[in-house]
Structure 1
Amino acid sequence: MQAMATREEIEAYCLPQGTLSQLLREIAGHRPGVLTHVGLGTFVDPRQAGGRLNAAAVDPIVHLVELHGRQWIFTPSLPIDVAIIRGSVADDRGNITMDKEGLFAEALSAAQAARNSGGIVLAQVGERTSAGSLDPRRVKVPGVLVDAIVVDPHQRLSAATADDPYLTGQLHAGDLPTEPMPLTVRKVIARRAARELVAGDVVNLGFGMPDGVAAVLAEEHVSDQVTFTVEQGHVGGVPQVGSNFGLCRNPDATLDASYQFDWYDGGGLDVAILSFAQVDLAGNVNVGKFDGRTPGVGGFINISQGARRLVFVGTLAAGGQVSLDGNGGTTISAPGKAKFVGQVDQISFSGPEAARSGKDVRYVTERAVFSLTDGQLTLTELAPGLDLERDVLAHMHIRPRIHHRVRTIEPALFRAGLVGLTLASSPERR
Structure 2
Amino acid sequence: MDARVLIAKRAAQEIKDGQLVNLGFGMPTQVSNYLPEGIHVLFHAENGVFGVGPKPKASEALADMTNAGAEPITLVPGAAIMDLATSLGAMRSGRLDVTILGALEVDQMGNIANWAVQRNGKWWPGIGGAMDLCYGTEVVIACLMHADKGGESKIMKKCALPLTGKGCVKTIITDKAVFEVGENVLILKEHAPGVTLEEIKTLTEADFVVADTFCEMKL
Give the shorter-chain TM-score range: 0.7 to 0.9
Partners of 2:124 and 2:50 in 1: how far apart?
29
Per the TM alignment, residue 365 of structure 1 is displaced from its structure 2 partner at its CA by 0.8
Q: Secondary structure at the match of 2:156?
A: coil
Q: Tell me the equivalent position of 1:244.
A: 70
Unaligned 5+ segments in structure 2 are 56-65
Q: What amino acid does structure 1 have at the position aligned with 2:171? A: R
Are positions 1:288 and 2:96 aligned together? no
Residue among 186, 192, 195 paired with 1:383: 192
Q: Secondary structure at the match of 1:343?
A: coil
Contact 2:109–2:183 under 8 Å retained in 1: no
Are positions 1:254 and 2:81 aligned together? yes
Contact 1:190–1:209 under 8 Å retained in 2: yes
Are positions 1:404 and 2:219 aligned together? no
Partners of 2:68 and 2:131 in 1: how far apart?
20
Unaligned 5+ segments in structure 1 are 1-182, 320-334, 355-359, 414-430
Q: Secondary structure at the match of 2:117?
A: coil
TM-score by length of 1: 0.44
Partners of 1:339 and 1:291 in 2: how far apart?
16
Change (3 A) 1:304 1:289: same
- Considering Cα pairs closer than 8 Å and 6+ residues apart, tell me whether 1 or 2 has the greater RCO: 2
Partners of 2:186 and 2:52 in 1: how far apart?
34
Change (3 A) 1:232 1:243: closer
Q: Tell me the equivalent position of 1:228.
A: 43
- State which structure, 1 or 2, has the greater radius of gyration over its C-alpha atoms: 1
Per the TM alignment, residue 407 of structure 1 is displaced from its structure 2 partner at its CA by 2.3
Contact 1:285–1:350 under 8 Å retained in 2: yes
What whole-Å deviation, never above 9, does each CA across 1:306-349 have from its counterpart, x for those lacking one? 11211111111122xxxxxxxxxxxxxxx733212232121211
Contact 2:45–2:68 under 8 Å retained in 1: no
Change (3 A) 1:243 1:195: closer
Q: Tell me the equivalent position of 2:61.
A: none
Q: What amino acid does structure 1 have at the position aligned with 2:32? A: A
What whole-Å deviation, never above 9, does each CA across 1:373-422 have from its counterpart, x for those lacking one? 23432211112332212x21211223323323312211xx2xxxxxxxxx
Partners of 1:368 and 1:375 in 2: how far apart?
18
Over the aligned positions, Cα root-mean-square deviation in angstroms equals 2.3
Change (3 A) 1:274 1:256: same
What whole-Å deviation, never above 9, does each CA across 1:39-92 have from its counterpart, x for those lacking one? xxxxxxxxxxxxxxxxxxxxxxxxxxxxxxxxxxxxxxxxxxxxxxxxxxxxxx
Q: Tell me the equivalent position of 2:177.
A: 368
Aligned length: 202
Q: What amino acid does structure 1 have at the position aligned with 2:82? A: L
Q: Secondary structure at the match of 1:214?
A: helix
Contact 2:175–2:192 under 8 Å retained in 1: yes
Partners of 2:195 and 2:69 in 1: how far apart?
36
Q: Which moved more, 1:254-263 or 1:189-198?
A: 254-263
Q: Tell me the equivalent position of 1:347.
A: 163
Contact 2:98–2:141 under 8 Å retained in 1: yes
Q: What amino acid does structure 1 have at the position aligned with 2:25? A: F
Q: Tell me the equivalent position of 1:395.
A: 203
Per the TM alignment, residue 221 of structure 1 is displaced from its structure 2 partner at its CA by 6.5
Contact 1:288–1:297 under 8 Å retained in 2: yes
- 1:16-415 to structure 2, matched below 5 A, reads 183-217=1-35, 225-238=40-53, 240=66, 244-245=70-71, 248-250=73-75, 252-290=79-117, 292=119, 294-319=124-149, 336-344=151-159, 345-351=161-167, 354=168, 361-389=170-198, 391-410=199-218, 413=219
Q: Secondary structure at the match of 2:109?
A: coil
Per the TM alignment, residue 222 of structure 1 is displaced from its structure 2 partner at its CA by 5.7
Q: Tell me the equivalent position of 1:85.
A: none
Partners of 1:243 and 1:200 in 2: how far apart?
24
Partners of 1:347 and 1:363 in 2: how far apart?
16
Q: Tell me the equivalent position of 1:141.
A: none
Which structure is higher in strand share? 2
Contact 1:208–1:242 under 8 Å retained in 2: no
TM-score by length of 2: 0.82
What whole-Å deviation, never above 9, does each CA across 1:173-218 have from its counterpart, x for those lacking one? xxxxxxxxxx41111111100000001110100011101102223x
| % identical equivalent positions | 28
Partners of 2:155 and 2:165 in 1: how far apart?
14
Per the TM alignment, residue 288 of structure 1 is displaced from its structure 2 partner at its CA by 2.0
